Amino acid sequence: MSSDDGKRRMNPGDEAPAGTPGTGEDLCPVCKGTGRIGHRDCENCGGTGRVIRGIGGA
């Protein structure tokens, strides 16, 4: 996976890679932090229940 150099694992609901300045974790709005949709992992957050969102703007 050398072509992924510099890429962090991101989920569809992430606005930026983890650790990006000006961003922070927030509860996933799709699964509301549970990481689950029914009996499946939430695709928006990859089952973590959290997404990365920008917190710097407003």
Residue 26 β-bridge partners:
51
First to last CA, the chain: 37
Nearer to Zn ion, 41 or 58 (CB): 41
CB within 8 Å of 47: residues ≥ 6 apart: 35, 36, 41
If binding is defined by CB under 5 A, does position 52 make contact with Zn ion?
A: no
Pattern 1-40, binding to Zn ion, x per CB under 5 A?
A: ---------------------------x-xx---------
Nearer to Zn ion, 45 or 52 (CB): 45
